[in-house]
Amino acid sequence: MLRLGWITTGRGEGSLGFLKTVISSIENGDLEASIEFVFSNREFGEGEGSDNLLNF
């Protein structure tokens, strides 16, 4: 099993979309992995895209 760390600014909608796709692949068994942590260098209020990622 892969143990992944996710590093992203989360600024664009593709950042959250890609994370959701990977999580979906893990949950439905297409990808044998776990996401151990998600790191973003952004704080709440810096942008709508990163706020959406941090709220996810």
Residue 9 one-letter amino acid: T
54 lies in some domain: yes
**Would you say residue 38 lies in a domain?**
yes
Look up residue 34 and give its amino acid.
S
The tens place of each residue's pLDDT in the chain, 56 residues long, gives 999 999 999 998 899 999 999 999 999 999 999 999 999 999 999 999 999 999 99
Assess if residue 49 is contained within a domain. yes
Give the pLDDT score at 37: 97
Position 13 in a domain: no
Give a yes or no: residue 56 inside a domain: yes
Tokens of 8: 């992203």
| Structure confidence at residue 13 (pLDDT) | 86
Q: What is the DSSP letter of 8?
A: E
Question: Coil, strand, or helix at residue 3?
Answer: strand
21 contact partners, CB below 8 Å, separation of at least 6:
none
Domain count, the chain: 1
Backbone angles phi, psi at 41, to 5 degrees: -90, 15
User: pTM for this one?
Assistant: 0.84
